[in-house]
């Protein structure tokens, strides 16, 4: 029997039981849609993270920090002049120390608890040339001690047009010292905003971020009366894996293993591998729903086999071969699987799109609203600056398609085999 005739025969049988066939198809649709939605959302999320990382943290940088031992900081200390040691290492072009402290910042009678970072503006800017960039004002390369650079969210904390810390405004920095572990003393100084940074977005590893306040390193050293540093940012010659690995190892050796060296690529790798695991786990659950759909297919194929036993007898009496009977039953399942896969892929993409737009609200990842009074609109994408576009890779598309087909075929195999094995004389006698 010709392939086309086999399919048209199978189709005529499906058409006879429209409701039953469409319910079975629905099972496949749900399974495929869940897989496609999860995987394409996951891919979109990964792409968004990767893009953020490329912006927020240059790939040719390392972050040197103190190694924490079982949650407690070691007594080892890094100092600002440790950069000299690092800069001697091969492939290191620059090492920038960062002095970070949590302070109160008084801006126009409002007081904020905020992180302040003391950096060399020129060097820091050369490492993070795409993010340490002024949106308004300009970042001085030879700053006065009072110079302050603020992140976009410090300037515009409510994102509704009410701005603070404009260029030229003064900011009072208040730091509570702890002397001998007992006495507290507030020391203050007043700086002046020279620049507001461009918005960086959600992620920033060691680099500038939207809630940061930056002061010159010299000012930090004298104000906080310290040369201890928490972070040293290292810029490398390039972002080759061997360069990163070799330099990381040498830096660790140079400090006797007391520091940890992290590359942004490694962090990206960890995040994406964690996310891949979660994604696969969810896709696995979706896969189970497809297996359930497969059992549904098997169920109706067996019912269909019972109902059509006599028909199979007629076909065999007319000289149809067992193999052809098998193929007819399989192609019925394949038709259902194919239809389910196509509809499921479409529905899954739609679902992913919907979740990307609205679903993250439910997940607690806050969507920023434009507080424009009437007709609030939800920004496209989810976390501000992290907009997710679901991506259907050819692999996922092809995989979902093949998986749908395969499941429907595998579960139809047994009923189809039983149909093909019927003896014509018994089948014809079947009531």
The C-alpha atoms of residue 25 and residue 199 are separated, in whole angstroms, by: 48
CB 426 within 8 A of CB 313: yes
Among 324, 367, 379, 387, binds other proteins (CB under 8 A): 324
Q: Is 70 exposed, middle or buried (0-12, 13-18, 19+ CB in 10 A)?
A: exposed
Q: Is position 423 an interface residue for other proteins (rule: CB under 8 A)? A: yes
Name the residue with tokens 């019972």: 306
Please tell me the count of residues contacting other proteins according to CB under 8 A.
26
Among 316, 357, 384, 418, binds other proteins (CB under 8 A): 316
Nearer to other proteins, 5 or 238 (CB): 5
Alpha helices in 308-357 (DSSP H): 309-317, 322-354
Q: Is position 2 an interface residue for other proteins (rule: CB under 8 A)? A: yes
What DSSP letter does each residue of 149-204 carry, written as one string?
A: EE-HHHHSTTSSS---S-TT-EEEEEEEEEETTTEEEEEEEEEEEEEEEPP--S--
Give, as ranges, the residues between 233 and 292 that touch other proteins (CB under 8 A).
none
Q: Is position 318 an interface residue for other proteins (rule: CB under 8 A)? A: yes
Q: Is position 54 an interface residue for other proteins (rule: CB under 8 A)? A: no
The C-alpha atoms of residue 322 and residue 303 are separated, in whole angstroms, by: 19
Tell me how far CA of residue 35 lies from CA of 54, 93, 134, 225, 407, in angstroms.
Answer: 28, 46, 43, 57, 14
* Vertex 363: Cα angle to 362 and 367 (nearest 5): 75
CB of 28 to other proteins, least distance (A): 24
Q: Is position 88 an interface residue for other proteins (rule: CB under 8 A)? A: no
Among 71, 161, 256, 319, binds other proteins (CB under 8 A): 319
Tell me how far CA of residue 375 lies from CA of 328, 357, 372, in angstroms.
Answer: 56, 17, 7
Among 69, 135, 314, 361, binds other proteins (CB under 8 A): 314
Q: Is position 14 an interface residue for other proteins (rule: CB under 8 A)? A: no
Q: Is position 303 an interface residue for other proteins (rule: CB under 8 A)? A: no
φ/ψ of 260, rounded to 5, equals -110, 140
Q: Is position 20 an interface residue for other proteins (rule: CB under 8 A)? A: no
Among 88, 237, 321, 366, binds other proteins (CB under 8 A): 321
CB of 329 to other proteins, least distance (A): 15
Nearer to other proteins, 38 or 320 (CB): 320
Residues forming contacts to other proteins in the complex (CB under 8 A) are 1-2, 5, 9, 12-13, 15-16, 310-311, 313-324, 423-425, 428
């Amino acid at each position: 029997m010709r392939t086309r005739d086999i399919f048209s025969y199978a189709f005529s049988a499906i058409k006879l039981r429209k409701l039953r066939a469409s319910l079975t198809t629905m099972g496949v649709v749900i399974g495929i849609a869940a897989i496609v939605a999860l995987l394409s959302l996951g891919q979109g999320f990964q792409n968004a993270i990767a893009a953020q990382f490329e912006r927020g943290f240059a790939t040719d940088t390392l972050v040197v920090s103190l190694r924490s031992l079982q949650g407690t900081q070691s007594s080892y200390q890094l100092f600002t002049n440790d950069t000299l040691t690092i800069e001697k290492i091969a492939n290191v072009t620059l090492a920038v120390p960062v002095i970070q402290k949590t302070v109160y910042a008084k801006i126009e009678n409002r007081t904020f608890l905020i992180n302040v970072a003391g950096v060399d503006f020129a060097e820091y800017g050369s490492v993070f040339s795409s993010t340490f960039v002024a949106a308004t004002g300009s970042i001085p390369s030879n700053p006065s001690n009072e110079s302050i650079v603020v992140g976009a969210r410090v300037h515009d904390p409510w994102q509704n047009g009410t701005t603070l810390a404009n260029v030229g405004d003064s900011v009072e920095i208040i730091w509570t010292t702890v002397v001998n572990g007992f006495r507290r003393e507030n020391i203050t100084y007043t700086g002046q905003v020279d620049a507001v940074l461009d918005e960086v977005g959600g992620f920033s590893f060691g680099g500038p971020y939207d809630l940061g306040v930056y002061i010159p390193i010299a000012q930090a050293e004298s104000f906080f009366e310290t040369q201890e540093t928490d972070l040293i940012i290292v810029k490398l010659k390039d972002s080759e894996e061997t360069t990163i690995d070799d330099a990381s190892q040498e830096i660790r050796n140079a400090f006797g293993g007391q520091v940890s060296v992290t590359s942004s690529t490694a962090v990206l790798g960890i995040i994406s591998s964690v996310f891949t695991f979660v994604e696969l786990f969810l896709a696995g659950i979706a896969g189970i729903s497809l297996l359930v759909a497969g059992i549904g297919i098997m169920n109706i194929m067996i019912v269909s086999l019972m109902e059509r036993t006599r028909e199979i007898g007629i076909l065999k009496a007319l000289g149809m071969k067992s193999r052809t009977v098998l193929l007819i039953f399989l192609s019925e399942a394949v038709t259902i699987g194919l239809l389910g896969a196509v509809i499921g892929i479409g529905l899954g993409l739609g679902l992913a799109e919907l979740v990307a737009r609205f679903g993250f609200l439910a997940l607690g990842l806050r969507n920023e609203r434009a507080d424009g009074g009437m007709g609030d609109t939800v920004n496209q994408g989810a976390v501000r600056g992290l907009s997710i576009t679901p991506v259907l890779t050819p692999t996922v598309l092809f995989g979902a398609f093949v998986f749908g087909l395969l499941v429907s075929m595998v579960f139809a195999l047994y009923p189809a085999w039983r149909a093909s094995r019927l003896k014509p004389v018994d089948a014809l006698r079947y009531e």
